[in-house]
């Protein structure tokens, strides 16, 4: 045993030196990425090749090269030609909050293990609830991602709507939730985790624009009841992940009120539209929801992974999880909002409230308005160009910054067009000049762009479409 090893690991001078070097490296990376001066968004390599590299690096690589190699082998979300998945280019200030959280490492299960971030969490969730339009009785929590937040919301819905105490007594009913067939897969996963099974996930068809067909709600509900299912919740998408289309939240809210259902809005991606003066109409009716999920790491410039779950009636944020853990969870007659392990699925969690609090305090609502409005405007511009191009086909007019389209040619069969579009996307990935993804909608292969970087310009979007046209045309003449 080396008795000096621990002293070496925790040496403040070493940390100071490495920290300065790392900040310089990341600042240079940020500068080159934002300017688009780096040739590639991604230096793509296949899984086996990547595995081989890091296996070799572990044996023979230099620790001093570690961070540089990480940059070389990862996707650069700050690059304006990153138009891929739904993670933002985080503000540097948010990343610094992550560093502080990592070094302080307060787990936040109970108040004294996270005094400052716990108070900040209450502050920002109260502000978010107010921004949504909830009243003074609203409460919220921050948790690790939309998947966990949506599961927690449905657990709360089940406990609130059912007469028995499911947490303590279990249940014998056949339960069900209603969702759009275009809802994010995490809703399906949450329902299955809760034991609802395939029959308990009532998927309502969508209209031509891919929003939930509200005219079919009553029919779907009655069919579920005729099968002996107890429907307790309806989930609205704001927007759906695949298409970026918002459901009609107002109509969904009215239906839930009529049937006595819990109305949950999965606004993980698009809930930040509450800050946009121009696009707030996309979430009309969100204030009528019983619970709402909004991701900070999608449209609010924060580092992964942090999600707000807001309850219109704050009592539901305290009653979902009820169990004894005497060393940790002390009984209280008061609203001890400050002991977060009573209110979240997690016990230990990161000090994620720091970045919400600091970004909001420093820049105010205007920052989130500027980001959402800029990105949604770019989505509309991209869609408008696609609609006028005979070689391209839009899946649907976007409501947000998610745009799905494909290369088309009248001489190709549907199957051949699917193959051509898959090959276009693979070429783009391997070349690394742009990063976009792909999806299947109604059985058709589409290219999918999510414009997440406010430094993406119309010029970049034009370059992308030109590449898609060129690649598609070359393939059909080959």
Element (H, E) at 23: helix 12-35
Secondary structure in 3-state letters for 315-334 = CHHHHCCCCCECCCECCCCC
Average pLDDT over residues 452-476: 95
- Residue 188 is predicted with a pLDDT of 87
CA atoms 159, 163, 169, 171: torsion sign: negative
Alpha-helical segments (H) within 364-400: 365-387
Whether the Cβ atoms of residue 356 and residue 116 lie closer than 8 Å to each other: no
Q: Return the axis-axis angle of helices 365-387 and 353-363, rounded to nearest 10°.
A: 90
DSSP 8-state secondary structure symbol assigned to residue 280: G
Whether the Cβ atoms of residue 407 and residue 14 lie closer than 8 Å to each other: no
Is residue 144 pLDDT above 80, yes or no? yes
Sheet (strand 291-295) strand order = 139-143, 307-311, 291-295, 262-266, 230-237, 175-180, 201-204
Is residue 334 pLDDT above 80, yes or no? no
184-238 pLDDT, tens digit each: 778 888 888 888 888 999 999 999 999 999 999 999 999 999 999 999 999 999 9
Is residue 372 pLDDT above 80, yes or no? yes
CA distance 296 to 192: 26
Give the DSSP per-residue string, 407-437. E--TTS-HHHHHHHHHHHHHHHHHH-S-B-E
96 to 23, 27, 101, 102, 301: CA distances (angstroms): 10, 12, 9, 10, 13
Phi then psi dihedrals of residue 212, to 5 deg = -60, 135
Average pLDDT over residues 427-452: 96
Whether the Cβ atoms of residue 448 and residue 382 lie closer than 8 Å to each other: no
Q: Which two tokens stand for residue 9?
A: 């690991």
Average pLDDT over residues 148-160: 91
CA distance 90 to 303: 5
142 burial (CB, 10 Å; 0-12 / 13-18 / 19+) is buried
CB atoms within 10 A of CB 184: 23
CA distance 362 to 315: 31
CA distance 333 to 330: 10
Whether the Cβ atoms of residue 398 and residue 383 lie closer than 8 Å to each other: yes
Cα 251 from chain centre? 24
CA distance 296 to 268: 8
pLDDT mean across residues, the chain: 92
Residue 450 pairs with which residues in a beta bridge?
402
Is residue 325 pLDDT above 80, yes or no? no
- Residue 320 is predicted with a pLDDT of 66
Phi then psi dihedrals of residue 139, to 5 deg = -145, 165
Q: Return the axis-axis angle of helices 185-193 and 146-161, rounded to nearest 10°.
A: 50
279-293 pLDDT, tens digit each: 999 999 999 999 999
User: Hey, what domains does the chain have and what are their CATH numbers?
Assistant: 9-41+76-105+364-478 (3.90.1150.170), 106-362 (3.40.640.10)
284 burial (CB, 10 Å; 0-12 / 13-18 / 19+) is middle
Give the pTM: 0.93
Average pLDDT over residues 453-471: 97
Whether the Cβ atoms of residue 276 and residue 246 lie closer than 8 Å to each other: no
- Residue 347 is predicted with a pLDDT of 76
- State the pLDDT confidence band at 323, using cuts at 50, 70 and 90: very low
DSSP 8-state secondary structure symbol assigned to residue 390: T
Q: Which two tokens stand for residue 37?
A: 């001066």
If phi > 0 it is left, if psi is from -120 to 50 it is alpha, else beta; for residue 91 that is: beta
- Residue 324 is predicted with a pLDDT of 45
């Amino acid at each position: 045993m080396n008795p000096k090893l621990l002293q070496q690991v925790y040496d403040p001078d070493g940390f100071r030196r490495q920290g300065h070097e790392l900040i310089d490296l990341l600042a240079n990376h940020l500068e080159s990425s934002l300017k688009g001066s780096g040739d590639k968004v991604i230096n793509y390599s296949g899984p086996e090749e990547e595995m081989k590299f890091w296996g070799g690096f572990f044996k023979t690589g230099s620790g001093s090269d570690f961070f540089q190699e990480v940059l070389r082998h990862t996707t650069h979300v700050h690059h304006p030609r990153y138009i891929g998945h739904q993670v933002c280019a985080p503000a540097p200030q948010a990343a610094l909050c992550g560093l502080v959280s990592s070094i302080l490492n307060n787990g936040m299960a109970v108040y004294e293990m996270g005094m400052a971030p716990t108070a900040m969490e209450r502050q920002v969730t109260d502000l978010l609830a107010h921004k949504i339009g909830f009243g003074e009785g609203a409460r919220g929590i921050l948790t690790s991602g939309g998947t966990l937040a949506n599961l927690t919301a449905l657990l709360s819905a089940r406990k609130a709507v059912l007469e028995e105490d499911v947490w303590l007594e279990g249940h014998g009913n056949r339960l069900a939730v209603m969702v759009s067939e275009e809802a994010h897969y995490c809703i399906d996963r949450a329902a299955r985790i809760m034991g609802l099974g395939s029959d308990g996930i009532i998927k309502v068809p969508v209209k031509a624009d891919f929003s939930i067909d509200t005219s079919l709600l009553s029919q779907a509900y009655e069919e579920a009841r005729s099968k002996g299912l107890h429907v307790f919740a309806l989930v609205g998408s704001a927007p759906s992940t695949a298409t970026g289309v918002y459901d009609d939240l107002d109509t969904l809210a009215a239906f839930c009120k009529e049937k006595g259902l819990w109305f949950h809005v999965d606004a993980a991606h698009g809930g930040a539209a509450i800050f946009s003066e121009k696009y707030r109409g996309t979430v009309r009716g969100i204030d009528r929801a019983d619970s709402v999920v909004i991701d900070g790491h999608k449209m609010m410039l924060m580092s992964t992974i942090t999600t707000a779950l807001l309850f219109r009636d704050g009592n539901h944020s305290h009653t979902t999880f009820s169990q004894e853990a005497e060393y940790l969870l002390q009984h209280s007659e008061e609203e001890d909002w400050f002991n977060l392990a009573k209110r979240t699925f997690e016990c230990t969690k990161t000090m994620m409230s720091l970045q919400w609090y600091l970004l909001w305090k420093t820049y105010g609502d205007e920052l989130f308005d500027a980001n959402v409005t800029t990105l949604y405007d770019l989505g509309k511009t991209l869609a408008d160009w696609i609609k006028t191009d005979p070689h391209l086909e839009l899946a649907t007019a976007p409501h947000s910054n998610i745009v799905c389209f494909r290369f088309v040619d009248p001489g190709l069969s549907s199957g051949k067009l699917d193959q051509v579009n898959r090959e276009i996307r693979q070429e783009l990935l391997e070349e690394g000049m742009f990063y976009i993804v792909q999806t299947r909608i109604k059985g058709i292969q589409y290219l999918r762009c999510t414009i997440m970087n406010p430094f993406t310009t119309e010029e970049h979007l034009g370059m992308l479409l030109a590449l898609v046209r060129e690649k598609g045309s070359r393939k059909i003449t080959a």
